[in-house]
Structures are given as structure tokens and as C-alpha cells.
A and B are shown apart, each in its own frame.
Chain A
């Protein structure tokens, strides 16, 4: 903790993943200190995966340039949709329902 505080960053690389669906999401975690962003369903469950993948990569590289993040965010089609938990067919645990 002391080392992290002194450096104002983690002593190891930080990879962020989970729920990243837009270029702005990727830029946000990079601004928060990530060195890399890992995106799966956010790309594959979108309406135009190739275009969205490219836009997320560009937003990750240029995370501190709002103009570029805004530019690559345009015209990407539909993002990944969140799913209502009560409608899921597969439940990973039976408790708590």
C-alpha cells in the first residue's frame, strides 16, 4: 500500500475487464489508472463488432484526448445490451432467487 501511495499507481500492471461496452468505458478505466483493457462480450454482442473493436482500441490509446474518444464513438450501431437478471435461462447458482 505504501509503495502504491508513493508512486500514485499500482506497482504491477492493471488490466480492466467486465462490462466495458463503449469506447468511453475503455477511456474511463484508462483514466482511472489501467494499463490495458480487456473486452469480450462488449464487442461480440454489439451490432457491428469489427467497427466497435477498432473504436475501443483507439479510445484506449487516446484515452486522454476527449476529441478522439468522441470522434470514434460515433456511428457504431447498437452496443451490448444488459440482460435483466430474472430472465436469464442459465443460473450459475440456485441460491438467492
Chain B
């Protein structure tokens, strides 16, 4: 299975390593032609306004939106979640989310760099040990639509979920040293 990782900015390398370790055929997506033949895509964490601008300059905004809108499975993490959201609070005025997830997020909602933290998460779809969530200047999910299934919450706030084929987390699953979330994503889309 060919899995793309949006590689405009941010933690794409760590996602590519995690997916590669699980046997996926990983391709870095920086230009529209890199989307060809991709069966799923990961939208990594990073800095959402930078990714937003680079979506335009790389000419990826329209083709990526088109593929996601037509059901391309995706795992959107941290800034990737902001990119996919339908609403952003505290974004830049010119930031244009793709709107493929019916959620509203508050950018940097958990605070600045020094407020970054880790927390053990009980994930509904993962029996066994807790998953260590790494939250780096993470967005806070302030609202989820009726079509969203919440898979984990931290202090009552959704931090992991899905809407159809699009998964999202406000934390960085690729930095946990635990491949179970990538594995279950691949298992489902494969």
C-alpha cells in the first residue's frame, strides 16, 4: 500500500519512519504529482500557518482537498488537524482550513512551547496499555460534529477521533515510540 506523507513542513520525517517500519510504501508529498497512486495520506504536525501558505505555493491545496473530499483516508495530526478542520479559533486571519473534518480547533489552545506536555491516553480502539500522547503547542478541539467518533479524550476534551476515513489527533503519535495508532490506521485502510 502506498501511503503519502505531506512533506511541506514539520514532523513528516518521523511519520515516514513510523509507516516505513510497519512495511508501508511511503512517498513524500510536496507537489500535486506526488499524490498520484497514493492510497492514504498523513498530514503531519508542524506550524499550521506555514503549511497553509505552502499548500498554495506548492499548488497542492486544490488536488489535496479534492482527494480528501472524495474519501482518501487520512491521518491528520496536530497542525495537520488544524489544516483539515472546518473552523479555527486564534488562527491567522488569512488561514484557510480545508474543512474536511467537522471540528473546530483552537490553535495553540494548550499554550505555548513551555506548556507542551505528555499524557497517558486511554484509546477506545486500542486494548491494553495507554498510549502516550505528546502534545506540542497542540490545538484544543473545541467542537466536534455529529459525524465524528471520539476515540480518546484528555480531561474531557477530544484528542483522538475520526470522521469516516479521516482520523485526527491533537497530539503527535509519531513521537511516542509506539506504533499502534499508525498500525491500526494502516490496517483499516489496507
Q: Footprint of B on A, CB under 8 Å?
A: 35, 54, 57-58, 61-62, 65
The answer to whether B13 and A35 have CB atoms under 8 Å apart is yes
Interface majority SS (helix, strand, loop, mixed), chain B = loop
Complex interface residues of chain B between 49 and 86 (CB less than 8 A to chain A) = 50, 53-54, 57-58
Known contacts A35-B13, A62-B58; A57 and B30 CB within 8 A of each other: no
Measured in the bound complex, the distance between the Cα atoms of B9 and A54 in whole Å is 13
- Contact A61–B13 (Cβ < 8 Å): no
The one of A35, A54, A65 that contacts B30, using a Cβ cutoff of 8 Å: A65
- 20 contacting pairs across A/B (C-beta < 8 A): A35-B13, A54-B53, A54-B57, A57-B9, A57-B50, A57-B53, A57-B54, A58-B54, A58-B57, A61-B7, A61-B8, A61-B9, A61-B30, A61-B54, A61-B58, A62-B30, A62-B31, A62-B58, A65-B30, A65-B31
Query: Besides A54-B57, A61-B9, A65-B31, 17 other CB < 8 A contacts?
Result: A35-B13, A54-B53, A57-B9, A57-B50, A57-B53, A57-B54, A58-B54, A58-B57, A61-B7, A61-B8, A61-B30, A61-B54, A61-B58, A62-B30, A62-B31, A62-B58, A65-B30
CB-CB contacts of B8-22 with A at 8 A, as 1s and 0s? 110001000000000
Q: Which residues of A contact B57 (CB under 8 A)?
A: 54, 58
**Main SS of the interface on chain A?**
helix
Which B residues are CB-close (under 8 A) to A57?
Answer: 9, 50, 53-54
Provide the B120-154 mask, 1 if CB < 8 A to any CB of A, else 0. 00000000000000000000000000000000000
Closest CB-CB distance, B57 to chain A, in whole Å?
5
Shortest Cβ gap from B6 to chain A (Å): 11
Would you list the 9 A-B pairs with minimal beta carbon distance, nearest first? A61-B8, A58-B57, A61-B54, A62-B30, A61-B9, A61-B30, A35-B13, A57-B50, A61-B58
Question: B8 — which chain A residues lie within 8 A by C-beta?
Answer: 61
Chain A nearest CB from B81 CB (Å) reads 20
For the complex, what is the distance from the CA of A61 to the CA of B28, rounded to whole Å? 11
Q: In whole angstroms, what is the CA distance A58 to B30 when docked?
A: 11
Residues on the B chain within 8 Å of A61, using CB: 7-9, 30, 54, 58
- The distance from the CB of A69 to the nearest CB of chain B, in whole angstroms, is 12
A61 to B9, CA, bound (A): 7
